Amino acid sequence: MARKLLLEHINVPGINTFDVYRSKGGYAAVEKALKTLTPDEVVEEVKKSGLRGRGGAGFPTGMKWSFLAKPEGVERYLVCNADESEPGTFKDRYLMTHIPHLLIEGMIVASFALGAKTSYIYVRGEMMPQIRILEKAIAEAKAKGFLGKNILGTDYSLELYVQPGGGAYICGEETALLESLEGKRGNPRIKPPFPAIAGLYGCPTVVNNVESIAAVVPIINEGGDEYAKLGIGRSTGTKLISAGGNLRKPGVYEIDLGLPAEEFLYSDEYCGGIANGKRLKAVVAGGSSVPILPASLFLKTINNEPRLMSYESLADGGFVSGTMMGSGGFIAYDEDQCIVRNTWNFARFYHHESCGQCSPCREGTGWMEKVLHRLEYGHGKMSDMDLLIDVSKKIEGNTICPLGDAAAWPVASAIRHFRDEFEWHVTNPSAALSGNYGIAHYADPLPKLEVATS
Amino acid sequence: MKVTIDGFPIEVEAGTSILNAARLIGGDIVPPAMCYYSKLEGTGGKCRTCLVQVTKGSEKDPRPMPKLVASCRTTVMDGMEVKNITSPEVIEARKGVVEMLLINHPLDCPVCDQAGECHLQDLAYEHGAAKTRYEFDRRTFEKIDIGDKIQLHMTRCILCYRCVFVADQITDHRIHGILNRGDHSEISTYIQKAVDNDFSGNVIDVCPVGALTDKTFRFKNRVWFTKPVEAHRECENPKCCGKVTLWYKGEDVIRVTARKDEYGEAEEFICNTCRFDKKKTSDWVIEGPRKVSHKSVINSNHYDTLHPLPVVKTNPVLMEANKEQFERETRL
């Protein structure tokens, strides 16, 4: 059983309270960082750890921190992006619900490293219970002297605020989040300037995912080099995967990066295989915006090597036969799921969530949604597939923020890998409404039917 | 800083955007811009029609940029090399953007007051396909009167945000903005509040399409039947320059607008008194007829391509005489 870094004490009763968290070794990283390390040394540790951003893009966190501009006399801010709204991803909510002090501890250490005197946790508006949990935890930490003026008797002071969002997916994009935090309409900003130069209120700002910030705690406790020993290649450390879909044991799992995908999917320690004895048809490996993969390509790369749960291995094969780590929203589909309907559902989501600022995404997402709706409900045409690919190409890469890409990839990849299912929807519209296409050759060779255990 | 656009080198100041550098060169290599407005701070980057390809980042870092960039919001670097009309990818992407802009546009040019001076119309003629691939209902909105002089026809809007920036930067305060998101987003005021401000009329000038129209001019005439004349007056409003274009139909001034440059941008903004209330020749000092580019539909009276009679095609004298017309046709 692999070691847990983030979720080690998750099952301890009362771990959401300060006292229990502290008795399990919590806030040791704050003491170590504030009393024995300088801010630059903390950044150096994070750099050594090779920690990559857990929000989706996978940009090295230490690098991001070292890019932060540090002009004299200008405030710097750390903002935690807890606007987790990617369909299929629920790891941050889990972390914040059950072990909120881990995030707060990470925020203190990270703010100290960046020299931020004020930090914000921007939480998705729908997560009101988590906002209350965090505010309670902040009050506890403040009462014990871990937040506020002169933390632990050092000359470092930090105020930490929780800001509920308005409930828009786009506010998870870092510049849109900053706009929203400033009280404006959550439209992504045009980059450059990047937030590291001019972010919140025009000041240098670092925006990090909840999990990235939480991962700073074990890095400081054990040292960056120790952390880097976990994982594989440039994917170091552990990652929370929120597994959902037709799995026997859906939930949030902490894995060492580099775990074989097959083991993650089928072993009893993790997802435990496909529910109800069915077979795997397709996998979305990192949240709705990454390309979908058929079972055969998910378990083995195109070169017939076993696929691993790591940034590099999942991306093996590029967009032709690979996918992305994304935010770790793992969705498995069994043989009874309809890929056309799923693709339409994703497209509907992106249509609904497009901010409407730049034209390709505003108009294109709606167009794709309408065409997919038509296909799903039996009014499609054979030319629709090429139309969808063409529209997705016109959106991809031509927009201000990555939402356009995120909307285009699932559609393009679904048609790339499941074109015969789309065509079947056109040729057999009535059958497509009542039944489904089944597994076809996507799991070629077909694995043995699992025996239903329940 | 030296920058090369489609092979044309030019020296520009640091901080200039690629689009403005291209405008300094001029000609066909200037990327079209629907949302960028040089007189308004912060505009641009939204419509994506001005996408260009940067094949060489700078002298120091010669790597090409991975994606197409919005030329209006990308500043030049020394030694940068940019491809606009020489890059097939740019043309393809621009075609895509124009198609996207048109899918929810009502295409009611025959009854639209903006027809003839509409950027989207020009762009569609340059890049658009003759047929749409969009087979669904277009989004529609009710027309709204914002104030007694301006009508908002949201159905035509391409959400360039220019009028929002005008309200922020030219008028005292902004009471209209973007509501909702995605393709439902609309320019609107809360509870139909009237936009009433000395400079609110400028939203009509900056609107690249026919979404914001002058109610004193609506359905009076097609722009290409009117005669534009430059004029000025001593305006009482200290912020107003008083320099305008009068649009005559016969003896009557039927419309007053700000003077626009070759990219359709107002040179200086004018106040509502000049725009809506001074519609007599005696109010103005006439400077002379306005020069209209031969490319403009206002000059040529039609968008249609030229269909020469068969005899013109065989007679070399007639061909020579119509040379300019043929050239114009190939441009369209």
The per-residue pLDDT for range A131-163, each reduced to its tens digit, is: 999 999 999 999 999 999 999 999 999 999 999
B137, part of any domain:
no
Please say whether the beta carbons of B273 and B237 come within 8 A: yes
d(CA A171, CA A186): 6
A185 → chain B, closest CA residue: B178
B309: confidence class by pLDDT, cuts 50, 70, 90: low
Facing residue for A359 by CB, picked from B47, B134, B136: B47
| Portion 181-220 of A in contact with B at CB < 8 A | 185, 190
Look at residue A452 and give its three-state secondary structure: coil
Say yes or no: A163 contacts chain B, CB-CB below 8 A. no
> What is the per-residue pLDDT across A222-243, written as a single tens digit (0 to 9) for each?
999 999 999 998 999 999 999 9
Ordered alpha helix ranges (H), B250-322: 272, 297-300, 310-314, 316-321
A260-334: CATH topology is: Ubiquitin-like (UB roll) (3.10.20)
Q: Are residues B174 and B83 in the same domain?
A: no
How high is the pLDDT of residue B331?
A: 57
Interface pTM, i.e. ipTM: 0.85
Q: For residues A86-91, give the mean pLDDT.
A: 93
Please say if the pLDDT value at position B306 is more than 80.
Answer: no
Q: State chain A's mean pLDDT as an integer.
A: 92
Please say if the pLDDT value at position A17 is more than 90.
Answer: yes
Exposure of B166 in the CB half-sphere (CA atoms within 13 A): 27
How high is the pLDDT of residue B156?
A: 94
Strand order in the sheet with B212-214: B144-146, B150-152, B212-214
Q: Are residues B153 and B209 in the same domain?
A: yes
Please say whether the beta carbons of A153 and A146 come within 8 A: no
Q: Are residues B79 and B206 in the same domain?
A: no
> What is the per-residue pLDDT across A433-453, written as a single tens digit (0 to 9) for each?
888 888 877 776 555 655 665
**Token digits for B252?**
């009557």
Domains identified in chain B, total number: 3
Say yes or no: B185 contacts chain A, CB-CB below 8 A. yes
Please say whether the beta carbons of A362 and B99 come within 8 A: no
Q: Are residues B174 and B285 in the same domain?
A: yes
d(CA A244, CA A223): 33
Strand order in the sheet with A329-334: A251-256, A238-245, A329-334, A280-284, A292-294
Q: How many CB atoms lie within 10 A of CB A433?
A: 12
Amino acid at B114: Q
Q: Are residues B324 and B277 in the same domain?
A: no
Exposure of A418 in the CB half-sphere (CA atoms within 13 A): 31
d(CA A274, CA A452): 9
Q: For residues A8-35, give the mean pLDDT.
A: 93
User: Could you give phi then psi for residue B91, rounded to 5 degrees?
Assistant: -60, -40
Q: A277 in the Ramachandran plot: left (φ > 0), alpha (ψ -120 to 50) or beta?
A: left
Nearby residues of A359 by Cβ (< 8 Å), 6 or more positions away: B46, B47, B48, B49, B97, B100, B101, B158, B159
Question: CA Rg, chain B, in Å?
Answer: 21
Residues of A with CB below 8 A from B186's CB? none
Nearby residues of B274 by Cβ (< 8 Å), 6 or more positions away: B233, B235, B240, B242, B244, B256
Look at residue A415 and give its three-state secondary structure: helix
> What is the per-residue pLDDT across B219-243, written as a single tens digit (0 to 9) for each?
998 888 888 999 999 999 888 888 9
Q: Are residues B43 and B170 in the same domain?
A: no
| Portion 252-291 of B in contact with A at CB < 8 A | none
Q: For residues A185-213, give the mean pLDDT.
A: 93
Nearby residues of B304 by Cβ (< 8 Å), 6 or more positions away: none
Nearest chain A CA: its distance from B313 CA (Å)? 39
> What is the per-residue pLDDT across B77-116, written as a single tens digit (0 to 9) for each?
999 999 999 999 999 999 999 999 999 999 899 999 998 8
Q: For residues B140-154, give the mean pLDDT.
A: 88
Nearest chain B CA: its distance from A369 CA (Å)? 11
Q: Are residues B162 and B252 in the same domain?
A: yes
Interface test with A, best of B41, B75, B91, B100 (most A CBs within 10 A): B100
Please say whether the beta carbons of A403 and A350 come within 8 A: yes
Residues of A with CB below 8 A from B158's CB? 359
> What is the per-residue pLDDT across A398-424, written as a single tens digit (0 to 9) for each?
999 999 999 999 999 999 999 999 999
Please say if the pLDDT value at position A85 is more than 70.
Answer: yes
Nearby residues of A424 by Cβ (< 8 Å), 6 or more positions away: A431, A432, A437
Facing residue for A185 by CB, picked from B96, B134, B178: B178
Looking at the DSSP bridge assignments, the partners of residue B80 are B3
Q: Give chain B's end-to-end CA distance (angstroms, integer).
A: 34
Q: Please indicate whether residue B261 or residue A47 has the higher confidence score (pLDDT).
A: A47
d(CA A403, CA B167): 28
> What is the per-residue pLDDT across B24-34, written as a single tens digit (0 to 9) for each?
998 889 999 99
Say yes or no: B182 contacts chain A, CB-CB below 8 A. yes
Q: Give the pairing type, strands B51-56 and A329-334.
A: unpaired
The last residue of one of the domains, among B32, B63, B94, is B94
> What is the per-residue pLDDT across A257-290, written as a single tens digit (0 to 9) for each?
999 999 999 999 999 999 998 889 999 999 999 9
Residue spans of the domains in chain A: they are: 18-229, 260-334, 339-434
B320: confidence class by pLDDT, cuts 50, 70, 90: confident
B109, part of any domain:
no
How high is the pLDDT of residue B301?
A: 55
How high is the pLDDT of residue B129?
A: 75
How far is Cα of residue A150 from the mean position of the Cα atoms in its chain? 34
Say yes or no: B211 contacts chain A, CB-CB below 8 A. no
Q: Give chain A's end-to-end CA distance (angstroms, integer).
A: 25
A370 → chain B, closest CA residue: B136
CATH number, domain of B74, equals 3.10.20.740
| Portion 105-164 of B in contact with A at CB < 8 A | 133-134, 136, 158-159, 161
B229, part of any domain:
yes
Residues of B with CB below 8 A from A168's CB? 181
Q: Are residues B152 and B254 in the same domain?
A: yes
Say yes or no: A360 contacts chain B, CB-CB below 8 A. yes
**Token digits for A434?**
């009542």
Domain A339-434 coded CATH 3.40.630.30: no
Q: What percent of chain B has pLDDT over 90?
A: 54
d(CA B220, CA A222): 77
> What is the per-residue pLDDT across A352-381, written as a single tens digit (0 to 9) for each?
999 999 999 999 999 999 999 999 999 999
Domain holding B314, by residue range, is 302-331
Q: Are residues B199 and B75 in the same domain?
A: no
d(CA B254, CA B209): 20
d(CA A119, CA A421): 49
> What dotted CATH number matches A18-229?
3.40.50.11540
> Burial level of A198, CB count in 10 A (0-12/13-18/19+)?
middle
B255, part of any domain:
yes
Facing residue for B181 by CB, picked from A355, A359, A399: A355
B11: confidence class by pLDDT, cuts 50, 70, 90: very high
Q: What is the pTM of this model?
A: 0.90
Size of interface A-B (CB pairs under 8 A): 89
